[in-house]
A and B are shown apart, each in its own frame.
With several copies, the nearest count.
Chain A
Amino acid sequence: MVAPPPKTPQAPESQQQLAIAYVAGAAVEELPGDLYIPPNALEVYLEAFEGPLDLLLYLIKRQNIDILEVDVAEITDQYMAYIELMQAGQFELAAEYMVMAAMLAEIKSRILLPRPETAEEEEADPRMQLIRRLLEYERYKLAAENLDDLPRLNRELRQARAGLPEIQRTIPEPVVELSDLLAAMAGALRQAELFEHHHVSLESISTEEKIGHLLRSLEKNRFVPLVSLLDPREGRLGVVVTFLAIMEMMRGAMVEIVQSDVFGPIHLRLAGKEPGKEESA
């Protein structure tokens, strides 16, 4: 087990600057001090986390705040910064990390967008599900630590055994029937099949790829309906990544978004400047 990453004394305000300064594809340059990890340590570093929930818990605990008080928008930014960092380090991320990224982006977008006033919609605060999951995971993370602290055989405890008396009948060999052997084979085979299933993992759609794709679909001076950019074949995850990509592009002032009427269709067009190029006056 790898020790948790060391906490660096960093004022919470500095984390506000996490509004990341990278553009799609470009090298990650500006990272807050407590986020910098030597590239060769990246692998070890990611292994310190047991998955996206664990990473989120770490990000929350680092700020010394209660899970219930978490600022989803901010934590999403921090989470994305890690993901970007890991991807910049050529580190192959488990699909789960991308799914969580998409989920966070979805929650964030729902918080940022004006909410309809209907009562039913009010009840489903998208943050609640995330918080519930975090609390539940934290509970079992703690339970696992407690379990590990219990004294156990061959660590703190040993079975006491004395030498056996001399005239000792030989201890019989265990009996094994053919059916036991076949049942064991059945178990091994079944497990092997299960193992193969698990090689099939979610094809992750990265935000960067999506941005590249969107840049190609959008044209300057022409508005494109948002709906036409969503590809149902990419599933829920794809839709969320598309939103995430659009939000990234908004932040980079790469797109303009227009909604002429309330609840009317949303249109996008490429902003006046090209990504990565200086704006010409």
Chain B
Amino acid sequence: MNPELKSIVEALLLAADRALSVDEIRSVFDEADRPERDELKQALAGIAADCEHRGVELREVASGYRLQIRQELAGWVNRLWEEKPPRYTRALLETLALIAYRQPATRGDIEEVRGVSVSTGIIRTLLDRDWIRISGHRETPGRPELFVTTRQFLDHFNLKSLSDLPPLSEINELPEALPEEA
């Protein structure tokens, strides 16, 4: 078996962060040196064997193969999250703040103030967290979505109503505290 093939397949599995089917793996190779399915299965078997004494194992699931952290190690891995909850980026917080103060606001409105484009990921995260919702569309070309904050947003920040947000004039005096890990 081609040892290099094993390395490539392992790299693919660890880069993808999801299960990959045999065909997906084959598709990243140029046609000229695309491995046969059997060859690939052999490489996968080799990876599985190498994992014997490692922290991960090769699993075959419905959509293909994935390298997964061993069940026995779940306890340690979970502590990693306990120790350090993820944090939001400055871009996300500014987007949320602008929606809170300027609602209803479109993506374009936010981009105008911030001078950079607002990523879809940020809007998705805010929607997923139920902090903002789409209240409608602005009747301008493209009919952009109008975002407003939700009740959950008020609850999270312990506000009774939007009028409890400090006025902008006060905010401008605030020092710019930057989220930066120590």
Bound pair (A, B)? yes
Q: Which of B22-30, B32-40, B94-102 contacts A (4 or more CB under 8 A)?
A: B94-102
Are B178 and A1 neighbours in the complex by a CB distance under 8 Å? no
Task: Find B177's partner among A69, A152, A179 (CB 8 Å cutoff).
Answer: A179
Are B74 and A167 neighbours in the complex by a CB distance under 8 Å? yes
- The listed residue with most A CB atoms (<10 A of its CB), out of B59, B91, B117, B178, is B178
On chain A, which size bracket covers the interface? 35 or more
Are A182 and B174 neighbours in the complex by a CB distance under 8 Å? yes
- The number of residues on chain B lying at the interface, defined by a beta carbon within 8 Å of a beta carbon of chain A, is 66
Q: Does B168 contact A (CB under 8 A)?
A: yes
Q: Does A156 contact B (CB under 8 A)?
A: yes
CB neighbours (8 Å) of A111 from chain B are 181
CB neighbours (8 Å) of A54 from chain B are 115
Are A174 and B86 neighbours in the complex by a CB distance under 8 Å? yes
CB neighbours (8 Å) of B73 from chain A are 165
Are A183 and B181 neighbours in the complex by a CB distance under 8 Å? no
CB distance from B132 to the nearest CB of A (A): 13
CB distance from B66 to the nearest CB of A (A): 5
Q: Which residue of B lies closest to A163 (CB)?
A: B68
A-B contact count (CB 8 A): 268
- Known contacts A147-B93, A150-B157, A153-B156, A51 near B115 by CB under 8 Å: yes
Q: Does B138 contact A (CB under 8 A)?
A: no
- Known contacts A125-B177, A139-B169, A160-B68, A188 near B114 by CB under 8 Å: yes
CB distance from B123 to the nearest CB of A (A): 8
- Known contacts A153-B158, A165-B73, A187-B176, A143 near B117 by CB under 8 Å: no
Are B171 and A155 neighbours in the complex by a CB distance under 8 Å? no
- Known contacts A160-B14, A169-B78, A140 near B114 by CB under 8 Å: yes
Are A181 and B93 neighbours in the complex by a CB distance under 8 Å? yes
- Known contacts A135-B171, A150-B159, A162 near B116 by CB under 8 Å: no
Q: Does B3 contact A (CB under 8 A)?
A: no
Query: Can you list 7 A-B pairs with a CB-CB distance of less than 8 A?
Result: A1-B87, A161-B14, A162-B14, A168-B78, A181-B97, A185-B168, A189-B168
Interface residues of A (CB under 8 A from B): 1, 50-54, 68-69, 71-73, 94, 96, 100, 111, 125, 127-128, 131-133, 135-137, 139-148, 150-169, 171-192, 194-195, 198, 201
Interface residues of B (CB under 8 A from A): 11, 13-15, 17-19, 55-56, 59, 66-71, 73-74, 77-78, 81-82, 85-91, 93-94, 96-98, 100-101, 113-117, 119-120, 123-124, 129, 155-159, 165-166, 168-169, 171-179, 181-182
